[in-house]
Amino acid sequence: MADNAKWYVVHTYSSYENSVAASIMKAVENRHMQDLIHEVKIPMETVTEITESGVKKTVERKVFPGYVLVKMVLTDESWHLVHNVRGAAGFVGADGKAIPLTEDEIIALGVEHREVVVGINVGDRVRITDGPMEGYFGTVEELDVEKERVRVAVSMFGRETPVDLDLDQVEADKE
């Protein structure tokens, strides 16, 4: 069932985000529903504020006041648990139906961090596995794991030509 879990947005009454999140997790624990409701998050950001007296202070602030994110498998039982928590106004969606966040929205919100494991380093010989340069070999010149990009120097017509590719378009040369 864990594969079916998706992130949903729950609208809360003003300033009830923390109590709604805590109540959901307590109810999940009491009813042994950890297989249906996995996580509850309140997106926060760290902000440096300058007071009128010129003093800098760092504070944590809610990114979306009035909303809580819940990773869950949507069933009648899990829907009722979340919907009936004191302070929860309901799920965000059309016609009262909960609509899950898309993969792009989850990444943009920073809710889940994907770890990219790269099996290559700068200086390694790689084979290009996709695109117009498929089948060519080259040497890794630059590696940008955050953007999931790689620059490979490919020898064409006796010249080294740099080619920018996605990480999934190359693989380490096994020879």
The per-residue pLDDT for 54 is 75
Q: CA of 32: how far to CAs of 29, 72, 116, in Å?
A: 5, 14, 33
Task: Look up residue 44 and give its amino acid.
Answer: M
Distance CA(98)–CA(145), nearest Å, equals 34
- CA angle, residues 113, 118, 124, in degrees to nearest 5: 160
Give pLDDT, residue 98. 87
d(CA 6, CA 16): 22
Domain ranges of the chain: 2-109, 125-172
Query: Which pLDDT score, from 0 to 100, does residue 157 have?
Result: 85
Does the predicted model carry a pTM greater than 0.75?
Answer: no
The crossing angle, in degrees rounded to 10, of helices 17-30 and 76-83 is 140
- In the chain, which residues have pLDDT < 70? 1-3, 96, 110-117, 175
Closest to 165 in 3D by CA, of 136, 131, 114, 139: 131
**CATH topology (fold) of 2-109:** Alpha-Beta Plaits (3.30.70)
Q: Give the model's pLDDT for residue 3.
A: 65
Greatest Cα pair distance, the chain, in angstroms, is 71
What pLDDT shows up at residue 112? 61
What are the residues whose beta carbons fall under 8 Å from the beta carbon of 28, sequence distance 6 or more?
Answer: 34, 36, 37, 81
Cβ neighbours, 10 Å, residue 82:
25
Q: Which fold would CATH assign to domain 125-172?
A: SH3 type barrels. (2.30.30)
Q: How far apart are CA 76 and CA 55, in angstroms?
A: 50
Residue 117: per-residue pLDDT: 63
Q: Nearest 10 degrees: CA dihedral of 94, 97, 100, 101? A: 20
